[in-house]
Each structure stands twice: as C-alpha cells, then as structure tokens.
Structure 1
Amino acid sequence: MAVAKWNGVILAESDAVKEIEGNLYFPPDSVNREYLRESDTRSTCPWKGLGYYYDIVVGDEVNEDAAWYYPEPKPAAKEITGYVAFWKGVEVTP
C-alpha cells in the first residue's frame, strides 16, 4: 500500500497508485482532502497538459503547492485524470 504523509498525517493511501516519471499518483478517492487547499498555481506539461496545485495544510503549517493533479489531461495521460501526486517534503512510500 502506497502512503503519502506530511507532518504526521496521512494525506493519501492506496494500492492503486500509478507511477509516472518517478512520481506516484494517488486515485482521487484515496486522498484525504481535509488537508488540501486549492492553490492558484498552474503548470504545463507538454504531454500531460495543464496541472493544478494544492497547498497542504496541517494545523498551522502550510506546505504551498505540495500536491498537484491534472483535471483534464491530454489523451496520453488520461489514466491519471484527477489523480494526486505529492512533493516538497511529503513522504511518499510505495
């Protein structure tokens, strides 16, 4: 079971993650959204499309833009539609 943790809380856990470019993407229903806050940050990947970000909020601590997802990826990445990946100090174990 893959797990994503930050500041002592489990952000996501699933047996159905998808690995792309070394990142684990968690299915939308496996993510504990109470710790995620929409960010205004966007990025563009040539083959995945427009990425959207979340800040992670645990108590008074905020990890800005530490999670991302593709709500409408390009056809080559359709398998990760809505899946969430983590970085910036989030501990992700496969």
Structure 2
Amino acid sequence: MSDKPVREPSAEHPITVEPTGKHVTVRVNGEVIAETDNALTLQESTYPALQYIPLGDVVQSALSSSDTATYCPYKGDAGYFHVTTTAGDTVEDAIWTYAEPYPAVAAIAGHVAFYPDKADIAVTA
C-alpha cells in the first residue's frame, strides 16, 4: 500500500488523452530524436497540451536512463531519460515516461514526453 495520494481527474482538474492525428517531429539541438504519426495529446487542466510519443518511435541509441524520478497524483510515478545527440551533446532529463500510469491515463503507457524547453516539438498536418 502506497502512502502517495492518488487523484482522479475531475471537473476542477480535467485530464484528457486523445490521438493527436497529426505528424509529430521532435528535435533536440536540431537533431531528429523522434518522429511519429501515432502521438497522443494529453491535456491536463490549464497546463499546455503535451505530446506523448510511442517509445518505439524514439531513436533508442540517443536515450540513456536517468536516476531522476517524480510523482504525479493524477498519473503516477515518472521515470526520466537523458538524450545524447550524434554530435555528443547530452540534454539531461529531457524525456519523462510513466511506465505504469494510473487507469485514468492508461493510454500513455509505453509513451514518452519531451520537455518543451529542452526539445523542439513540431506538430504538422
């Protein structure tokens, strides 16, 4: 039994997860790190919408696990990845993922999100 609070999305704090339905390209320091037509858009309350990319659509050789971990009472425990470009630049904790997200956001399992200040995320038709 965990002592962490678990909260369900509500009218006061809505969370939706929908297929993006568009092409998403993610660049780190100008290098394409992820590209997909299968992204999910997660909209949480008044926060900016986030693109969750299937892990399989991310350049695996660019990823290295981080020791960073955080907790969200709506989504669960998050793990992080560093991104290293082919030029050798490492951007620490550029990506987070919920390996076992809570049921309300179960669709984001197997997906990762990039920090908008650490990556360029483009959504195109």
Please state which band the TM-score falls in when normalised by the shorter chain. over 0.9
Output the TM-score relative to the length of structure 1: 0.93
* Partner residue, 2:112: 84
Structure with the larger RCO, 1 or 2 (CA within 8 Å, 6+ apart): 1
Tell whether 2:76 aligns with 1:49: yes
Between Structure 1 and Structure 2, whose CA radius of gyration is higher? 2
| Structure in which a larger fraction of residues adopt strand | 1
Unmatched 5+ stretches in structure 1 = none
CA distance in 2, matches of 1:49, 1:56: 22
Tell whether 2:40 aligns with 1:12: no
What is the aligned residue count?
94
Tell whether 2:52 aligns with 1:30: no
1:16-63 CA distance string (max 9 Å, x none): 111113110001221111111100001111111000000111133111
Moved segments of 4+, more than 4 Å:
none
Give 1:77 shift.
Answer: 1.2
Q: Percent identity?
A: 33
Output the TM-score relative to the length of structure 2: 0.71
